[in-house]
Structure 1
């Protein structure tokens, strides 16, 4: 029975499937999470303590922005690599 299934090839397919199928979406979600900040409780409640409904929300710091952009750039690179592989014949 072991002659029918190539275990090494099957392992490679499963590994790449896990990396691409779960890794790229997780990287995308991490990139989005790094680029957003949690909403403060007073903003979520509908305003600040003085009744003003508009509140300034701070932008993420430089390190978070760079990390988020890096994660999203890696996602774009993975998609471009996959498309180039498919267009070239997929072999």
Structure 2
């Protein structure tokens, strides 16, 4: 063990880095996935299927959940900018 390394602080930085570095993008990806149509995003129209007006939309529950995911992502970005602007302390 080294007396120059604060292992507790290093562990905190590592955990926060993993959560923010991987968690926020994963939450954004989940929001995008919730916005995609439930049939997997396949759409017909040009290849002789249903016209564009007949395409299905995701349900209201999926849209609300996606909105919450995006709101958390925007909140994290605003919080990070505010932290940097305040001096990062």
Q: How far 1:66 sits from its partner (Å)?
A: 0.4
Structure-2 separation of matches of 1:77 and 1:24 = 10
Query: 1:1-91 maps to which residues of 2 (within 5 A)?
Result: 1-37=1-37, 38-40=40-42, 43=44, 46-48=47-49, 54-55=51-52, 56-91=54-89
Please list the CA deviations of residues 29-63 of structure 1 after superposition, one character each: whole Å capped at 9, or x if unmatched: 0001101112347x288221xxx6x3321111011
What is the number of equivalent residue pairs in this alignment? 86
Structure-2 separation of matches of 1:7 and 1:45 = 59
Q: Which runs of 4+ in 1 moved over 4 A?
A: none
Secondary structure at the aligned position of 2:56 is classed as coil
Structure-2 separation of matches of 1:2 and 1:45 = 66
Structure 1: segments with no counterpart, 5+ residues: none
* TM-score, scaled to structure 1: 0.85
Q: Quick check: which has more Rg, 1 or 2?
A: 1
